[in-house]
Amino acid sequence: MMFYQYLRFQYRRFALPFLLISLASFPICAAAQQDTPYSNLITPAPQIGNPSGGELIAITRAGDRLVAGGAHGIITYSDDNGVTWHQARVPVTLTITDIAFATPKIGWAVGAFGVILHTTDGGESWARQLTGVDINKLILANATSTAAASPDSPQSQRAVRRANIFTAAGPDKPLLAVYPQDPLHVTIFGAYRICVSTADGGSSWHDCSLAVPDPISHNLYSVTHTAAGTYVAGEAGDLFLMDDTGGFTVVPSPSTSTLFGVIATNKGSLVAYGVAGALYRSTDQGKDWTPITISTQSDLTDGLQLSSGLIVLLSENGLIYTSSDDGQSFAPLKDNTGTVLTSAVEAANSNLILASLSGIRVLQPADLQ
């Protein structure tokens, strides 16, 4: 899972209204791509003394290895369940927002300026596969091709306007969630309905944003794979189900509140969470939702179900909320971590490893009682 606090607020509160105005007024003619070099796309991440102590946004597993990433391109990994950490070699100085692995060795990391990084050694070293400059070109090519096939279609005209806005602005839009279906097939989501995918492990990419049924171009924040399909959650309550062929269908949303993620429980339920304590549960794959009362108005930033069956939710106010009844109710743990919690994963020894804006925190199963 990912979380990029600053960009999340920036895009939700300010950038989306600008995009809506621009979609109505921007010329349909293609704009020239800004190819000005961006130093943070080519400057390696700085080597620091304590890579696990900084602003970390995302954490995941690569087999038994833990891999976390965050501000300034820092990616760090641990082979002893979070006791000691080592810094990876990263070719960019950009905030990492999400990391996911298809195998214990092969994975992807994404982040600011549309950067896509690839690893084949379990996260010890990373190579740049794509940037926002490349993504803008993919979006423009797809929109232009779509408009050529249906020149009178309002949808085609809107797609070209959107592509021109992206091109004129440059590679300023973050990627926010990555889903590696396998070592070859990967789909990545981001701000303004960005969606790019590859079927060859990243040797080539294509724009899939026009397949997402959202003409407003909301931000897409997270992706959750389940037996029923892959759920994509986003701004203004957007919720989509992606099939294995890359097709998208709209899932009835529990709310117009922004959703930051979906947890699929081992009993077949879904728990959707998001802004200002928004929390909902479904027992029928999202056809119907029940609001869940929780004692916070803070944003719920990440969630997962542990191997014990306990469901854990993280909050921006530093509290952790747990459920032992398949998401029907949640209660806060007594102790506040005192930092913004951004992401979590269960280690191989069953410890809960937290990423936060103050670094890594480790909780043992007894700490969650």
Give the model confidence (pLDDT) of 241-287 as tens digits.
999 899 999 999 999 999 999 999 999 999 999 999 999 999 999 99
User: Average of pLDDT values for 184-199?
Assistant: 98
User: Beta strand pairing status for 270-274 and 259-264?
Assistant: antiparallel
Give the mean pLDDT of the chain.
91
Residue 367 has what pLDDT?
95
> Sorting pLDDT into bands at 50, 70 and 90, what band is 366?
very high
Give the model confidence (pLDDT) of 292-317 as tens digits.
999 999 999 999 999 999 999 999 99
Residue 369 has what pLDDT?
84
* Domains along the sequence of the chain with CATH: 5-28+48-360 (2.130.10.10)
Give the 3-state DSSP-derived string for 189-200, with helices as H, strands as E and coil as C: EEHHHCEEEECC
Give the 3-state DSSP-derived string for 67-126, with helices as H, strands as E and coil as C: EEEEHHHCEEEECCCCCCCEECECCCCCCEEEEEECCCCCEEEEEHHHCEEEECCCCCEC
Residue 9 has what pLDDT?
39
Give the model confidence (pLDDT) of 130-166 as tens digits.
999 999 999 999 999 999 999 999 999 999 999 999 9
User: Average of pLDDT values for 342-357?
Assistant: 98
Dist CA 208 CA 139 (whole Å): 8
Place of tokens 């007894």: 366
Dist CA 39 CA 93 (whole Å): 8
Give the model confidence (pLDDT) of 52-91 as tens digits.
999 999 999 999 999 999 999 999 999 999 999 999 999 9
> Sorting pLDDT into bands at 50, 70 and 90, what band is 227?
confident
Residue 1 has what pLDDT?
42
User: Average of pLDDT values for 346-365?
Assistant: 97
Give the model confidence (pLDDT) of 10-53 as tens digits.
433 333 333 333 333 333 343 333 444 689 999 999 999 999 99
